[in-house]
Structure 1
């Protein structure tokens, strides 16, 4: 089931986000950069603000949080700022359900294009997005160790 996140979900959202990020950042970045106290506090504040704006979707399976996505539409361009699935739920369709829900919301909001950034060494995520039609962003292909991707949203 896909639903909007509430303030009651915040602890579970932050824990899932931290667990998912740890799986693809570990070994590529120092732990402090994705799991240190300052980063965890920054992450929690960001998720709290996004939940407060009604910009976070939760995928729930068997009564547990299985994935989250934070998104918005800015000036007609959709932005997928976060999409994370609990590693124990990878390859079970959770990410696809969240992605499809975001795309439907963007289309309903009138967006014709979407943008995201993905960690360049996260090959699993890069393959996931490529399979859904995301292409390198010609206007902003790179931001440090992240790649910019875009998706044309057909009506």
Structure 2
């Protein structure tokens, strides 16, 4: 089941986000950061989220929280800021379902396009977004919690 997130989901989203980064971002972030500093950074990030416009956050539930997606609509086009699935549930369609639902929600809000960035060091995620209809907008320099990274912009047509 996919539904709108509420503040009651904050801790579960934060925990899933942390687990996903610790599982996937070892090539980009130092192990000490992932272990010692990332938990505080994630707690601060999610403490600041309002779960209201201009953010759209959806969660997928199964046995507990299976995944989440968040779009920031304070820019044009909106940024799909996060899409994470519990590491042990990847490859089962949850990410595709969340991406389809956030794209539909953004289209219903009147947006015609959205974008996200994906780390170049994560070819599995890049292939996933392209298979879901994203268009590779080319390389971008980005920051990941204060660490410079190379990413690719992926654009989506909505509606």
Interval containing the TM-score (normalised by the shorter chain): 0.7 to 0.9
1:58 pairs with 2:62: no
Using structure 1 for the length normalisation, give the TM-score: 0.85
TM-score normalised by length of structure 2 = 0.83
Q: What runs of 5+ residues in structure 2 fail to find an aligned partner? A: 143-147
Q: What RMSD over aligned residues (CA atoms) do the two structures have, in Å?
A: 2.0
Counterpart in the other structure of 2:145: none
Q: Tell me the number of residue pairs that the alignment of Structure 1 and Structure 2 aligns.
A: 152
Q: Please name the residue that 2:8 is paired with.
A: 8
Aligned counterpart, 1:70? 70
Of stretches 51-60 and 104-113 in structure 1, the one that deviates more from structure 2 is: 51-60
Q: Counterpart of 1:96?
A: 96
Q: Which has the higher strand share?
A: 2
Q: Which runs of 5+ in 1 are unaligned?
A: none
1:104 CA drift (Å): 0.3
Contact 1:59/1:68 (<8 A) preserved: yes
- Give the C-alpha shift of residue 27 in structure 1: 4.3
Q: CA deviation at 1:11?
A: 1.6
Seen in structure 2, the aligned counterparts of structure 1 residues 55 and 44 have a Cα distance that, compared at 3 Å, is farther
